[in-house]
Structure 1
Amino acid sequence: MRLGMLLAGLVVLTGCATSTPPGGRLFASNYQYSPLTPPAAPRPIPSGSESEEPSPADDPPASLSGSRDDVLAAARKLVGSKQVRVDGKTWPSDCTGFVEAVYGKAGVSFRGAAKAGDNGVTAFYRYAQAQGRVFTKGKPRPGDLVFFRETYDRNKDGRRNDGLTHVGLVDEVARDGTVVVIHRVSRGVVRYRMNLARPSVRKDPRTGVVLNDMLRVPKGKKMPVLTGQLFAAYGSVLPEPGADAVARR
């Protein structure tokens, strides 16, 4: 019994991966799997507070002790590193460990947000719903969370039923709307690009500029799947720019 509870707790803290599904084939046009195994129970994305457009934020939680600048500085410093280490503390080397480490600079703790059966990414999403806002359209702010779905076959059944599987944060938004995301993938902490106006286009055919990086890499005859195709939502829980000084009074 105790072993079962311990293993359940560890599931919440696990991060994410970006790899090829071992149980089936993924097609880039609609990122549907061609399953080879019996289906597992689908893992839905929590609903209840999503909005299309970002809205003015309420006062940040009183526990926040830092700012967006603190979070962004920590994230940018880790780019190029395989190990997630902030202020002398080493965190799990996965996407949730990276986000939790840098958000700790603002006093954010995602602990306690999970429900039974959640993975770490879903727990972060629930925290954003409860403590801030979740939105799918409009311009995010640097430091906001970015959630992705189906970046790997978590339950290994070859089907698109894994829900939220990856998280990063917004570094900047380019003039053309391309969002630069900092996140931890298998090769370390990196920057990827995502353009939701053209989610299925990897490079601008006129300029050659990358609009969407490969979030699910090709292997064999399997097609790559891009960041814009796997985007789920943004999440905002940090003080808004210009509000940090007010929050610290």
Structure 2
Amino acid sequence: MRLCVLLAGLLVMTGCAATGRPMGGSVIAASYRYSPLTPAAAPKAPLSVTAARPAASPAASPAPRKQVRPPPPAASRENVLATARELVGSRKVKVAGRTWPDDCTGFVEGVYARAGVSFRGSGVAGDNGVTAIYRYTRDHGRVFTRGKPKPGDLVFFRETYDQNRDGRRNDGLTHVGLVDEVASDGTVVVIHRVKRGVVRYRMNLAKPSLRRDPRTGEVLNDMLRVPGATRMPVLTGQLFVSYGSVLPDARPAKVTKPTKPAAVARR
């Protein structure tokens, strides 16, 4: 029994999509079947509004209060972005001398550690690493689908590969990255870890099923899942679930007021 509990705990921070088989620590408990994400944790269909935290039932006894973690400093968003951009093109996720798992969750954990954010201990039995990060974001920040994300925000995707190997699209959350920038046409540039390393992908939620703009030929949505025989969603915009924000906004540039010239005494 104790062994089962230990292995279930190890499942929490493993599993990730990487346009193919998961990378990193997914072999720790490979013999255990992955339980799909529960709707309360993250819907398999995209959300339509900002996800609200479930209200406690009036009849239920009050649950023990969770320990509130202090918010990261305002400068942390810039630190996260700078670290993520430096890793683009790398196969290894190495941050400040520490090597993180070479998968999407290891990448997000590594860059967010620069802001003092730790996602450990956020999941429950049956969660994969992406789901655990989603739970942390929901509990300590917000998840949303409407509005413009900010650079440094998280991006969650679903069904990017067949995690439980049953041939069906029932795996829930399987991939996470972070927003690098948002173009004027609404195309979001995402930095994430895939099989070939840390890369940038594009995603346009206004045209989620279009690979390229028919007029300009510009890429709108990159391919996030290897296409199969059936016409199932494979593009970033099609597999998008939600954004997530746990970092404070970047500090605005400080504007210094001009000093008043000293009055000159008349003679």
Corresponding residue SS for 1:216: coil
Q: Does 1:204 align with 2:213?
A: yes
Distance 1:187 1:79 in 2: 11
User: What is the CA deviation profile of residues 48-92 of structure 1, one whole-angstrom value per residue up to 9, with x for unaligned ones?
Assistant: 9x77369xxxxx952524511000000000000010000000000
Map 1:32-181; keep pairs closer than 5 Å.
42-45=36-39, 46=41, 52=49, 62-65=70-73, 66-181=75-190
- Report the count of equivalent residues: 222
Q: 1:227 to 1:82 in 2, by over 3 A?
A: same
Q: Aligned Cα RMSD in Å?
A: 2.7
For residues 148-179 of structure 1, give each alpha carbon's deviation from its aligned partner in whole angstroms, at most 9, with x where no partner exists.
00001111111111110000000000000000
Aligned partner of 1:25 in structure 2 is: none
Q: Percent identity?
A: 68
Between the aligned partners of 2:198 and 2:165, the Cα distance in structure 1 is 25
- Give the alignment's TM-score, normalised by structure 1: 0.81
1:184 aligns with 2:196: no
Partner of 1:230: 239
Q: CA deviation at 1:7?
A: 1.8
Deviation at 1:47, TM superposition (A): 5.1
- In the alignment, what sits opposite 1:16? 16
Tell me, yes or no, if the aligned pair for 1:121 and 1:166 is still in contact at 8 Å.
yes
Contact 1:182/1:192 (CA < 8 Å) preserved in 2?
yes
Partner SS state of residue 228, structure 1: helix
* Matched residue SS, 2:89: coil
Shift of 1:188: 0.4
Partner Cα separation in structure 1 for residue 193 and residue 206 of structure 2: 24
**What is the match of residue 217 of structure 1?**
226
| 5+ long unaligned stretches in structure 2 | 22-33, 52-67, 255-267
In the TM superposition, what is the alpha-carbon distance from 1:18 to its structure 2 partner? 3.4
Structure 1 contact 153–160 (Cα < 8 Å) conserved: yes
Q: Per-residue deviation at 1:116?
A: 1.6
> What SS class does the counterpart of residue 73 from structure 1 fall into?
helix
Structure richer in strand, relative to its length: 1
Output the TM-score relative to the length of structure 2: 0.76
Paired with 2:241 and 2:102, the residues of 1 have a C-alpha distance of: 22
Answer whether contact 1:67 1:244 (CA < 8 A) is retained. no
Q: Which residue is 1:4 aligned to?
A: 4
Q: How far apart are residue 19 of structure 1 and its match?
A: 4.1
Alignment partners' CA distance in 1, 2:35 and 2:13? 21
- Based on CA coordinates, which of the two structures has the bigger radius of gyration? 2
Query: Retained in 1: the 8 A contact 2:189–2:202?
Result: yes
Amino acid at match of 2:189: V
